[in-house]
C-alpha cells in the first residue's frame, strides 16, 4: 500500500514507515549491516531492494549490501485512544536531563524512570534526586521508562499509560511496557519531604566560572582516579574553592 514498514523488537518495540513503491514479503534481517549501509546513503536518491528466498540485496548507486533472510515476524503496536503529550523543546530537554540522573539498575525497576507527577518531572537514584517543574499537568503519575526518556526530542508525542508507554518521534513509534511498580513504589513522599526542607543561600557564583572549575577538576582527577570522584567546596573571604 505504498509504504515500507520496519519493526525492531528488543527492550523497546519500534516501528517506522516510509513511502515506497513495489511489493516485498515480510523478511527478518540483521539490523547492524543495514545501519552501516544506511550511513553510505545520502538523503537524495532511491534505494532499490531485491529479494528471493535466500538473499535480499539493497542497492544505492554503486553501494550494495546482500543479507541472508529468514521468515519475518509481525509485531503490532498497541492502539492509543487517549490524547498524547506533545513535547516542547524545554520539556524534552528536562526529561532527557533527568534520565541521566535516574537509577539504572534492574534490581530497582521502580526507580529506572523519569516520573511525571502533577506539574513536576522527577528522577532519583541512591545518590541524588532531581525535581523540575513542567508546564503540562499530569493527572495520574506517569513513569517514563529510561530507554525512552533518554531519547526525548522536541516535537515528540508521549503517551504514558498504565499498561505501556509510547513515544512517536518523526517517522518512528516506540513502545515499552509501563513500569507498574513505579506507580506505587516510586519515593515521591521522600522527594517532597526534601523539597520542603528549609534552606538558605550560601553564595552567588557565575555559572560559567562554576562550570569551568568543575570541568577542570574533572579533567585532572579523572586521569589518575579510576573510582568515583567527589568534589568538596569551601567558601572563604568571598571566594569559592
Q: What is the pTM of this model?
A: 0.78
Count how many residues are written for the chain. Answer: 241
Q: What is the rounded average pLDDT for all residues in the chain?
A: 89
49 falls in which pLDDT band (50, 70, 90)? Answer: very high
CA distance 161 to 138: 11
Which residue did the predictor score with more confidence, 110 or 209?
209
Q: DSSP assignment, residue 88?
A: -
Residue 169 contacts by C-beta under 8 Å, 6 or more apart in sequence?
151, 153, 155, 156, 157
Pinpoint the alpha helices (H) of the chain. Answer: 31-39, 89-101, 146-149, 180-185, 188-195, 207-224
pLDDT of 71 reads 86
Neighbours of 88 (CB within 10 A): 15
- 225 pLDDT more than 80: no
Mean pLDDT of the region 103-129: 89
Give the pairing of strands 113-124 and 70-71. Answer: unpaired
Point out the least confidently predicted range of 39-43, 46-50, 221-225. Answer: 221-225
Could you tell me which residues come within 8 angstroms of residue 129 by beta carbon, excluding any fewer than 6 positions away? 101, 122, 123, 190, 191, 194
pLDDT of 202 reads: 86
At 144-192, the pLDDT tens digits run 999 999 999 999 999 987 788 999 999 999 999 888 888 888 999 988 8
Amino acid at each position: 500500500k505504498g509504504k515500507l514498514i520496519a519493526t525492531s523488537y528488543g527492550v523497546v518495540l519500534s516501528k517506522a514507515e516510509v513511502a515506497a513503491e513495489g511489493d516485498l514479503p515480510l523478511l527478518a534481517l540483521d539490523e547492524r549491516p543495514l545501519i552501516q549501509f544506511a550511513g553510505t546513503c545520502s538523503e537524495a536518491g532511491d534505494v532499490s531492494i531485491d529479494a528471493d528466498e535466500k538473499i535480499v540485496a539493497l542497492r544505492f548507486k554503486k553501494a550494495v549490501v546482500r543479507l541472508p533472510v529468514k521468515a519475518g515476524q509481525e509485531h503490532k503496536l498497541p492502539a492509543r485512544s487517549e490524547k498524547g503529550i506533545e513535547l516542547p523543546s524545554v520539556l524534552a530537554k528536562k526529561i532527557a536531563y533527568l534520565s541521566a540522573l535516574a537509577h539504572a539498575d534492574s534490581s530497582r525497576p521502580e526507580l529506572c524512570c523519569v516520573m511525571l507527577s502533577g506539574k513536576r518531572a522527577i528522577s532519583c537514584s541512591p545518590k541524588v534526586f532531581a525535581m523540575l517543574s513542567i508546564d503540562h499537568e499530569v493527572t495520574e503519575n506517569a513513569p517514563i521508562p529510561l530507554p525512552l526518556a533518554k531519547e526525548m526530542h522536541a516535537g515528540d508525542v508521549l503517551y504514558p499509560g498504565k499498561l505501556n508507554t509510547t513515544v512517536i518521534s518523526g517517522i518512528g513509534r516506540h513502545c515499552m511496557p509501563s513500569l507498574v511498580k513505579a506507580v506505587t513504589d516510586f519515593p515521591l513522599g521522600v522527594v517532597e519531604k526534601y523539597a520542603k526542607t528549609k534552606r538558605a543561600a550560601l553564595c552567588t557564583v557565575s555559572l560559567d566560572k562554576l562550570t569551568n572549575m568543575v570541568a577542570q577538576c574533572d579533567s585532572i582527577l579523572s586521569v589518575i582516579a579510576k573510582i568515583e570522584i567527589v568534589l568538596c567546596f569551601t567558601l572563604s573571604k568571598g571566594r569559592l574553592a
